[in-house]
Amino acid sequence: MPISSPETSLSLLERVRESQAHAAEQAWERLVPIYQSLLQKWLRAAGLQQADRDDLNQRVLEVLVRRLPQFKHNGRPGAFRAWLRSITVNFRREFWRKKPTPESSSVLDQLVDPHSDLSKLWDEQHDRHVLHSLLDLVAMEFTDTTWRAFRRLVLDSVPARTVAAELGITTNAVIIAKSRVLARLRQEAGGWLD
């Protein structure tokens, strides 16, 4: 499900960059768990041991904490995930210089090339992971009926009439549920998903 994400001051990325400490702290509390698990997945796929994954994960997150306030989304699709991938690749490159493996050079070359199959896979994993995290994040803001209507219509691709019949609501109510949830996801996702 593609979600276009207009830049919005209410997005999680924007809140992280805010100068108000309380708002930024809350945003970080939401951002770190999302990316911590994604980074672990990426580093596990690279064949790193748990201790090395934990170390590199922490180092990438430290860079995010330090440099995200200066990050400017250039409006190009994938700007944030490409930035995150480049930070991760740089740490992997440094790690593999110390502990080279036969495939490390090839993997790094593929990750640097935005058109390689591996880079495309990382992009897909990023978007899927962030989307599911955002879905989990906003789900509690909606009634059960609204959320079920959205899931069935958008995620399960069930026709609106069928969803309406299943839930005992009007087709218009299903369309409104979809609209409300997508609007909230766009608001939260500003700059993350393309």
What distance in Å separates the CA atoms of residue 92 and residue 47, rounded to the nearest whole number? 11
In a domain, residue 70? The reply is yes
CA dihedral of 105, 107, 112, 116, whole degrees rounded to 10: 130
How many domains, the chain? 1
5 falls within a domain: no
Q: What is the pLDDT of residues 40-51, one digit of tens each?
A: 888 887 777 889
Domain-located, residue 178 = no
128 belongs to a structural domain? yes
Does the residue 177 lie in any domain? no
User: Which positions of the chain have pLDDT values less than 50?
Assistant: 1-10, 20, 194
Q: Are 187 and 153 in contact (CB under 8 A)?
A: no
| 3 domain residue, yes or no | no
Q: Which of 38, 15, 35, 34 is nearest to 25 (CA)?
A: 15
Output the pLDDT for position 16. Answer: 61
pTM of the complete model = 0.65
| Cα 41 to Cα 52: distance, rounded to the nearest angstrom | 13
- Domain range for 115 is 12-139
Is 111 domain-assigned?
yes
* 149: in domain: no
